[in-house]
Structure 1
Amino acid sequence: MQQDLPALEYLECQYRPDLLTLVGRWLRQPTDAELHEGYHRLLAVAEACGARLWLVDARRRSTANQQGTQWMTEQFLPLLPQRLGSAVHIAYLFMPRHLQEIERDAAVPPLSYFNDLPYRIERFTDEHAAMEWLEAMRRAAASNKP
């Protein structure tokens, strides 16, 4: 499916079947409309591939874009388990400065907010650590299947 969709100039989107992971890489700071379109693109590709593990690389963005937090937590993230059929795990990659901004911003929920939801979020500054976490989530989900 991802080959059938027109390319977005601000987001690379690729499913990695070897890792069972959808990789979205923001190429620049998106506008609010682009942020929404980009995340809906990620969801469309995830639906086509059955991807429940996502790596979202926001390191090329100029800011962490906290203004999209309310839309993400109230509208977009709740769609994921409905549309993908089970729990979704998202590893976000940030520049250290952006991660510090996010962690200090009271409008951004702490990671514990996601503990009892059907989607898990973790934040990273290192891609290898992010991929290790996604692999651990994949193994945990596989071991819980009957």
Structure 2
Amino acid sequence: MSNLSPAYMDLAYRPDLRVLFLRWTRQTTSQELRAAYDQTLELARQEQAGRWLIDLRRRSLADPADFAWIVHDVRARLAQGVAGAEHRIAYLVTPNNAPTILGRLAELEPDIPAAVRTAVAFRIFTEEHTALEWLQA
């Protein structure tokens, strides 16, 4: 298992599951958030990991500008950087945050190029086992 863990996150790739896990351990600044996603993309490239579980339950939501950056830029970089894999990102959230994230995604999705939307699927989950089932399907 590959593991990189700054103080604000736990980042690991599980080859037995073929899933990259990013678990936030506290609220982050915009700079930390962007650095974490850069690290996540680098680990994904190294491991050719196209399926991610991102656990947001220990932090509040990213501000709208950072969320848009994730949905647009990180998603496109994953599609380009990890070849030959089906790309899926499962966001694990609290039930209270699920409607907000779903609303933000609905607003941003029309602006994302169809090729990127098709290449990297996003889904929101409130239960980890359901997210893992989807990632491994």
TM tier relative to shorter chain: 0.7 to 0.9
Q: Secondary structure at the match of 1:122?
A: strand
Q: How does 1:46-125 map to 2 (within 5 A)?
A: 46-86=44-84, 87-105=86-104, 108-109=107-108, 116-125=117-126
Deviation at 1:72, TM superposition (A): 1.6
Please give the alpha-carbon distance, in whole angstroms, between the structure 2 residues aligned to 1:126 and 1:50: 25
| CA–CA separation in structure 1 for the residues paired with 2:9 and 2:39 | 9
Q: Which runs of 5+ in 1 are unaligned?
A: 137-146
In the superposition, the TM-score normalised over structure 2's length comes to 0.84
Is the Cα contact below 8 Å between 1:90 and 1:122 reproduced in 2? yes
In structure 1, give the amino acid aligned to 2:93. Answer: F
Q: Which amino acid aligns with 2:67?
A: T
Q: Please list the CA deviations of residues 12-58 of structure 1 after superposition, one character each: whole Å capped at 9, or x if unmatched.
A: 00111110110110111111111110111111111111111111101
CA contact under 8 A between 1:58 and 1:93: conserved in structure 2? Answer: yes
Say whether the 8 Å CA contact 1:69–1:108 is kept in structure 2.
Answer: no
CA contact (8 A) 1:58 1:64 kept: no
Q: Percent identity, aligned pairs only?
A: 35
Structure 2 CA distance for aligned equivalents of residues 8 and 130 of structure 1: 24
Distance between the aligned counterparts of 2:54 and 2:61, measured in 1? 15
Structure whose CA Rg is larger: 1
What is the CA deviation profile of residues 39-81 of structure 1, one whole-angstrom value per residue up to 9, with x for unaligned ones? 1111111111111111110110123543312212332210112
1:107 positional shift: 7.2
In the other structure, the counterpart of 2:129 is 128
Alpha-carbon distance in structure 1 between the residues aligned to 2:104 and 2:131: 22
Between the aligned partners of 1:29 and 1:71, the Cα distance in structure 2 is 17
Say if 1:64 and 1:99, in contact at 8 Å, map to a contact too: no
Give, as a single letter, the amino acid of the residue that structure 2 aligns with 1:133: W
> When the two structures are superposed, what TM-score results if normalisation uses the length of structure 1?
0.79
Check whether the contact 2:102–2:124 (CA below 8 A) recurs between aligned residues: no
SS at 1:24 equivalent: strand
Number of residue pairs aligned between Structure 1 and Structure 2: 133
